[in-house]
Structure 1
Amino acid sequence: MTRHGHGLVPGRFLPPHAGHHHLVRTARDRCERLTVLVRASAADTLPAEDRVAWMREIHPDVLVVGGEEYAGPEQVDAVFTAEPYAQELGRRLGAETVLVDKVLPLTGAAVREDPAAFWDHLEPPVRAALTRRIVVLGAESTGTTTMARALADHYRRRGGVWARTRCVPDHAGEYRARRLAEHPGAGPSGAALRSSDFPVIAQGQAEREEEAARDGSPVLFCDTDAFAATIRHERHTGTASPATCEVAAHGRQHLWLLTDHRGVDCADDTDRLRPWMTARFLTQLARTGRRTAVLTGPHEERLAAAVAAVDGLLAEGWHLTEPLPELR
């Protein structure tokens, strides 16, 4: 088997899948040095910078660069490809073209058409980017936790890849419990939240969500999110929190399910604040253009409405467009 000095693997990796990774690893094993070129155009659905970041994480032992053509300073000795059209690039670079056999019956077009069908052929950072993220949020004691868990259970029962469906718990509870454990003599008041706590909680929530999306199913349920933390901050302090809003601005959620307070009993004094919370959620969800479904009625009706909203989102697919033919 010929061993090359500097190899090049060009591709769009739209998105990168197991076939691409087999190609890269084969080339790496046959070269002293390997460069992966992530090609891109303005029409690509998945940003080039994301694909470069994913490939760098998945293949930390090779050089990954972005660009339509290879512009590196080092001569390329061999271009590794599984597609005949890449032979022209090898000719232009004065390099040998090495065709690598495909070992998996999948194509980029098939993955783009239905990522869920090929979920196990995608690596964690790609799954995290493609996961449909559903947030259940609402005022206190309106059944958000119950609903988030029920939805996760519902989709797990579908089996297959869906059996890995995750539910991300509300990080605020964990945050308070940790504070009490660190200061056991403070009593219940020691867990009271300050303004500075909210961006920390929001960031923790976002990190746990990202971790769950990397190894779950194509859908992820979240018992609240950073956006909900911005409304909670208003409720507790009467003002907005720019730092918490900044965390929320970087979220990657797709659907918000708002649990209405009406028809849900509440035994403590938060009951008088629940109408304000529900109204504020509705206002801000609409103002920020977040896709929203309001859940009302008894639990069974709420769950049915939530499943219908989630299924509607999933049925729309991922809208991953094909690369432009002349740029393949």
Structure 2
Amino acid sequence: MTRYGHGLVPGRFLPPHAGHHHLVRTARDRCERLTVLVRASAADTLPLEDRVAWMREIHPDVLVVGGQEYAGPERVDAVFTADPDGDEPGRRLGAETVPLDRVLPLTGAAVRDDPAAFWDFFEPPVRAALTRRVVVLGAESTGATTMARALTDHYRRRGGVWARTRCVPDHAGEYRALRPAEPLRSSDFPVIAQRQSELEEAAARDGSPVLFCDADAFAATIRHERHTGTASPATCEIAAHGRRHLWLLTDHRGIDRADDTDRLRPWMTARLLTQLAHTGRRTAVLTGPHEERLAAAVAAVDGLLAEGRHLTAPLPELR
């Protein structure tokens, strides 16, 4: 078997899947050095910088660059491809084209048409980016945690890849449990928001195409207002980043519970709804008995998943 000095694997990696990774690893074994070129096009449905970052994380032992053509200073000795008609890059670079057999029945078009059907062929950073993240939030004692768990159970019962559906707990509860005798301070909220975001990211790498979150960094911004009467710029900055797609707000009305949080629940519900609308977050308000709330929530989530099933158009801007 011929061994080469410098090899090149060009591709769109839109998105990168197990077939691509087999190609890269096979080429790496046959070269002293390997460059992966993530090709860019105006028609791409996933950002170039994301695809480059994913390939760098998955293949830390090769050089990954982005662009339309290879423009590196080093001569390319061999271009590796699984495309039977893919000898054009080799000719342009004056390099040998090395065809490699496909070992998996995968095509980019099939994967883009239904990513959930090929979920197990994605590596963790790609799954994290493609996962639809649903946040359930509300005033205290309005059933947000119950709803997040019920939704998780509902989608797990669909079986297959959906059986791995995850629910990220509200980190604020765990954080408070570490210091039960101390009230929350303003400086605590960015810490809670950051850790909440980290837990979401970890769960999205290891779950199904949908992830449920019991509160998020945005909820922490409103909780800060409730506790201190002012906004927290640091918490707001954290909330402005990350990937979340749908917020389900549990209404305080219809909740049969009377305690000392009664006066705060209407304010919290109104403030959450106002800020969700102000920041342009996609929101569904859940009202009525639990069964009605769950049915409305499932309908909203299924609508989100149907829209995000295909990667034939650019993903919406993420928050």
Question: Aligning the two structures, in what range does the TM-score lie when normalised by the shorter sequence?
Answer: over 0.9
Which SS does the other structure have where 2:261 is aligned? helix
TM-score in terms of structure 1 length: 0.94
Distance apart, 1:313 and its partner CA = 0.9
User: In the alignment, which residue of structure 2 is the partner of 1:326?
Assistant: none
Is 2:3 aligned against 1:11?
no
Output the CA distance in 2 between the equivalents of 1:244 and 1:41: 36
Output the CA distance in 1 between the equivalents of 2:113 and 2:265: 42
- From 287, 290, 302, the equivalent of 1:299 is 290
- State the aligned residue count: 314
User: In the alignment, which residue of structure 1 is the partner of 2:118?
Assistant: 118
Any stretches of 5+ residues in structure 1 without a counterpart?
Answer: 181-187, 324-328
User: In the alignment, which residue of structure 1 is the partner of 2:68?
Assistant: 68
Output the CA distance in 2 between the equivalents of 1:36 and 1:2: 19
User: In the alignment, which residue of structure 1 is the partner of 2:59?
Assistant: 59
Aligned AA for 2:288?
A: G
Equivalent residue runs for 1:90-169 within 5 Å:
90-169=90-169
Identity of aligned residues (%): 89
TM-score in terms of structure 2 length: 0.96
Indicate if the aligned counterparts of 1:17 and 1:122 stay in contact, CA closer than 8 A: yes
Which SS does the other structure have where 2:134 is aligned? strand
Output the CA distance in 1 between the equivalents of 2:259 and 2:207: 36
Is 2:267 aligned against 1:281?
no
Distance apart, 1:222 and its partner CA = 0.2
Which SS does the other structure have where 1:43 is aligned? coil
Distance apart, 1:322 and its partner CA = 7.3
Output the CA distance in 1 between the equivalents of 2:256 and 2:72: 66
- From 246, 251, 256, the equivalent of 1:255 is 246
Indicate if the aligned counterparts of 1:261 and 1:278 stay in contact, CA closer than 8 A: yes
Output the CA distance in 2 between the equivalents of 1:9 and 1:318: 28
* 1:216-252 deviation per Cα after TM superposition (whole angstroms, max 9, x unaligned): 0000000000011111111111111111110010021
Task: Report runs of 4+ in structure 1 exceeding 3 Å deviation.
Answer: none
Output the CA distance in 1 between the equivalents of 2:228 and 2:313: 48
Aligned AA for 1:130?
A: L
Aligned AA for 2:101?
A: D
Output the CA distance in 2 between the equivalents of 1:97 and 1:50: 27
**Which deviates more from structure 2 when the two are superposed, residues 76-85 or residues 199-208?**
76-85
Aligned AA for 2:167?
A: C
Output the CA distance in 2 between the equivalents of 1:317 and 1:115: 9
Output the CA distance in 2 between the equivalents of 1:266 and 1:164: 33
Aligned AA for 1:233?
A: H
Any stretches of 5+ residues in structure 2 without a counterpart?
Answer: 315-319
User: In the alignment, which residue of structure 1 is the partner of 2:317?
Assistant: none
Aligned AA for 2:184?
A: L
Cα RMSD (Å): 1.2
Indicate if the aligned counterparts of 2:114 and 2:310 stay in contact, CA closer than 8 A: no
Indicate if the aligned counterparts of 1:195 and 1:237 stay in contact, CA closer than 8 A: yes
Indicate if the aligned counterparts of 1:114 and 1:317 stay in contact, CA closer than 8 A: no
- From 177, 189, 196, the equivalent of 2:181 is 189
Distance apart, 1:319 and its partner CA = 4.5
